[in-house]
């Protein structure tokens, strides 16, 4: 039984594409067949983050319109053999994707993959609504920062009203992925805590990804952090992927520094 997941956030720049790529890799290395799909028409980037930018021949819109077969458009990852990418089109025509077209492509992907992970564009426009439309699970990527939390709250409202599942009265599974988290600053009361964000958004926690220099390095190289066994951010993403698969794991926050100063003052300030 395949699972359709949307990675969404409302706000841009919080780590949707990085998270899609990292979770996609983490699921695929366990042997599951995974397809990551870029919904950001006109501003595709998942190909770049995956290091596959020079291999895109056909894209999502070519397939949706019947100009290319799905098998022609799917790009197989060179490092993880069960991982595939469906790139977004670079066309300027934002209306090129239709409800019917997306439904058909998602239906075809469902036949061939265990996981279909849809990387949503930012915003709450058509592209973002289409990315979430046929999903059963949503990963809401949020930074511990006021504007991101507010936009995530808005997206959660849309997930509960504008998706196929919501319209049928079925449950849309929502998961919070807190990214760019700095445990030291949070313990000093300078940054919203994990508990704060959970309390405000009231959806279950999928994982906490620490702010990390490795993330930029990974996108520079086109090699998601989950491909490096030693990376703390990669480990957090791998754990998040296991939770998404249904495993129960305690959430750990790697890199949490317990200096004398934060022990003494951190909790008091928070």
Partner 1 sequence: MTLFGFFKSRATAPIARERLQILLAHERVALGPTDLIAILRDELIATIARHIDFDPDKVSVKMDRTASFSTLEIDVEIPCDKVKTSRTPLIPSAEASPA
- The residues binding partner 1 (CB under 8 A) are 145-146, 149-150, 153-154, 157, 160-161, 186, 188-193, 196, 199-200, 265, 268-270
Tokens of 66: 């019947």
How far is residue 30's CA from residue 52's CA, in Å, rounded to a whole number? 21
Nearer to partner 1 by Cβ, of 170 and 190: the residue is 190
How far is residue 74's CA from residue 188's CA, in Å, rounded to a whole number? 46
Cβ-contact 109, 102 below 8 angstroms = no
> Residue 187 Cβ, how far from partner 1 at the closest point, in Å?
10
> Residue 198 Cβ, how far from partner 1 at the closest point, in Å?
11
Nearer to partner 1 by Cβ, of 93 and 125: the residue is 125
> Residue 164 Cβ, how far from partner 1 at the closest point, in Å?
15
φ, ψ dihedrals at 208, nearest 5°? -125, 120
SS3 265: helix
> Residue 211 Cβ, how far from partner 1 at the closest point, in Å?
15
Q: Which ranges in 117-231 belong to alpha helices (H)?
A: 126-133, 146-159, 164-167, 183-187, 194-201, 213-221
> Residue 205 Cβ, how far from partner 1 at the closest point, in Å?
17
For 59, other C-beta atoms within 10 Å of its C-beta total 23
How many residues are recorded in the chain?
270
**Longest CA–CA separation in the chain, Å:** 64
> Residue 6 Cβ, how far from partner 1 at the closest point, in Å?
18
Burial 169-181 (b: 16+ CB within 10 A, else e): eeebbbbbbbbbb
* CA-based nearest residue to 59, from 77, 40, 78: 40
Give the position of tokens 């990085």. 18
């Amino acid at each position: 039984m395949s699972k359709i997941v949307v990675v969404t956030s409302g706000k841009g720049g919080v780590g949707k594409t990085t998270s899609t790529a990292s979770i996609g890799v983490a699921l695929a290395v366990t042997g599951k067949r995974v397809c990551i799909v870029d919904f950001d028409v006109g501003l595709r980037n998942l190909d770049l983050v995956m290091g596959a930018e020079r291999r895109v021949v056909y894209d999502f819109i070519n397939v949706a319109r019947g100009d290319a077969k799905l098998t022609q458009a799917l790009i197989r990852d060179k490092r993880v053999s069960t991982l595939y990418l469906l790139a977004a089109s670079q066309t300027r025509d934002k209306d090129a994707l239709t409800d019917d077209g997306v439904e058909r492509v998602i239906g075809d992907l469902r036949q061939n993959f265990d996981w279909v992970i849809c990387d949503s564009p930012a915003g709450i426009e058509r592209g973002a609504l289409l990315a979430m439309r046929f999903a059963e699970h949503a990963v809401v990527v949020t930074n511990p920062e006021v504007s991101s939390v507010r936009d995530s709250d808005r997206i959660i409202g849309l997930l509960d009203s504008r998706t196929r599942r919501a319209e049928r009265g079925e449950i849309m599974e929502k998961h919070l992925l807190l990214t760019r988290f700095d445990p030291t600053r949070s313990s000093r009361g300078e940054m919203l805590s994990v508990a704060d964000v959970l309390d405000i958004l009231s959806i279950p926690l999928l994982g906490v990804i620490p702010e990390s220099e490795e993330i930029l390095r990974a996108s520079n190289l086109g090699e998601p952090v989950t491909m490096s066994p030693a990376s703390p951010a990669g480990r957090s993403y791998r754990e998040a992927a296991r939770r998404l698969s249904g495993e129960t794991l305690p959430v750990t926050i790697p890199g949490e520094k317990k200096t004398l100063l934060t022990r003494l003052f951190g909790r008091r300030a928070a």
